[in-house]
């Protein structure tokens, strides 16, 4: 059985382990990042403008962002009222898991791009007609800039609200254990779900061995990146990426990884 390094925030680890096992992997788990909600001063502006009909489009880029938004809003507004206000504007989910999280809060999603990534959404901006619209993008403090820049270039008035932050957990017992397994050759494949988690793992593993040796150890195995930005960041740091899924979801990445390992998909 392929031993797969799974690096996810604690709140997503359980579901990720289930997906990995269902596809025949043996997950070796560690959480390089911890999620905390963020009190962004722009959230108050978002809520005021949402209540007064001054918001045209809301973009949410992860299920974590959906949860953070409703958690942050809960002291002043109930989830049903917030969902009702969001229903009056165009709501965009980056992919089906984000849409599912929004649906669980009572928000019917207006638009999901065909390719589940920031780049996929950028390629379909014409369908959203963002020119002259006020767009709120609610996401983490490490979101890719491509989406914001493309929307502004298309004529949208974009306000980014950081609803959660990603905090590195480099020296935890599970991270150190994963790093040791990496250096001992005990991991067969790596599934990197973001640029930050990838860089955090490199930083943590470099506490166990020289960075060059860590990179060499990883490159002896199969590496999957959830999307092009993560692939690009890994390659900038000397890591060879064999697998990138068509859609940037954890499950799609593991399916593409399995096909690669089984030899049922073209090698990259």
Quick: pLDDT tens for 165-217. Answer: 999 988 899 999 999 999 999 999 999 999 999 999 999 999 999 999 999 99
Would you say residue 234 has pLDDT above 60? yes
Would you say residue 266 has pLDDT above 80? no
User: In this predicted structure, what is the pLDDT of residue 140?
Assistant: 93
Give the HSE-up count for residue 24: Cα atoms under 13 Å, Cβ half-sphere: 9
Predicted TM-score (pTM) of this structure: 0.84
- Positions of CATH 3.40.50.10090 in the chain: 2-32+169-262, 36-167
pLDDT, the chain, mean: 94
The per-residue pLDDT for range 78-135, each reduced to its tens digit, is: 999 999 999 999 999 999 999 999 999 999 999 999 988 888 899 999 999 999 999 9
Yes or no: say if 113 and 71 are a contact pair by the CB < 8 Å rule.
Answer: no
User: In this predicted structure, what is the pLDDT of residue 267?
Assistant: 45
User: How far is 161 from 43, CA to CA, in rounded Å?
Assistant: 6
User: How far is 93 from 175, CA to CA, in rounded Å?
Assistant: 31
Q: Determine the topology of domain 2-32+169-262 in CATH.
A: Rossmann fold (3.40.50)
User: How far is 26 from 183, CA to CA, in rounded Å?
Assistant: 18
Q: Determine the topology of domain 36-167 in CATH.
A: Rossmann fold (3.40.50)
Count of other CB atoms within 10 angstroms of residue 264? 8
Would you say residue 153 has pLDDT above 50? yes
Yes or no: say if 149 and 177 are a contact pair by the CB < 8 Å rule.
Answer: no
């Amino acid at each position: 059985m392929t031993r797969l390094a799974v690096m996810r925030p604690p709140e997503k680890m359980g579901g990720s382990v289930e997906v990995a096992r269902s596809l025949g992997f043996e997950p070796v788990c560690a959480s390089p990042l911890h999620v905390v909600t963020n009190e962004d001063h722009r959230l108050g502006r978002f809520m005021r403008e949402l209540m007064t009909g001054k918001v045209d489009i809301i973009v949410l880029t992860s299920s974590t962002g959906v949860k953070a938004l409703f958690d942050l809003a809960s002291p002043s507004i109930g989830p049903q009222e917030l969902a009702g206000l969001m229903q009056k504007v165009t709501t965009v989910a980056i992919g089906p898991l984000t849409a599912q999280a929004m649906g669980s809060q009572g928000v019917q999603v207006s638009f999901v791009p065909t390719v589940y990534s920031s780049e996929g959404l950028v390629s379909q901006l014409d369908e959203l007609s963002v020119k002259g619209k006020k767009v709120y993008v609610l996401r983490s403090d490490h979101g890719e800039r491509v989406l914001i820049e493309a929307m502004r270039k298309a004529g949208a008035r974009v306000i980014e609200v950081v609803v959660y932050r990603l905090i590195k957990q480099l020296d935890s017992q599970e991270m150190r254990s994963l790093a040791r397994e990496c250096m001992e050759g005990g991991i067969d494949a790596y599934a990197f779900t973001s640029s930050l988690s990838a860089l955090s793992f490199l930083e943590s593993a470099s506490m166990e061995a020289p960075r060059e040796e860590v990179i060499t150890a990883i490159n002896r195995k199969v590496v999957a990146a959830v999307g092009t930005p993560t692939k690009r960041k890994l390659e900038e740091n000397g890591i060879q990426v064999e697998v990138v899924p068509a859609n940037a979801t954890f499950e799609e990445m593991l399916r593409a990884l399995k096909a690669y390992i089984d030899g049922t998909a073209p090698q990259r």
